Amino acid sequence: MAEFTAKDVAALRQKTGAGMMDCKDALSETGGDEEKALELLKVKMGKKLGKLAAREAAEGTVQSYIHATGKVGVLVEVDCNTDFVARNEDFIAFAKDVAMHVAASPTVKYVNVEDVPQDEKDAELRVFVQQAEAEGKPENIREKIATGKLNKWLEEIVLVKQVHVNADKHESKTIEQIREQLSVTTGENVVVRRFERFAVGE
pLDDT digits (tens, 9 = 90+) for 65-118: 999 899 999 999 999 988 889 999 999 999 999 999 999 999 999 999 989 999
49 pLDDT tier (thresholds 50, 70, 90): low
Mean of pLDDT values over 35-40? 85
The pair phi, psi for residue 3, each rounded to 5°, is -100, 105
Closest CA to 188 of 86, 93, 97: 86
Mean pLDDT, rounded, for 120-124: 92
> How many CA within 13 A on the CB side of residue 3?
0
Which residue type sits at 106? P
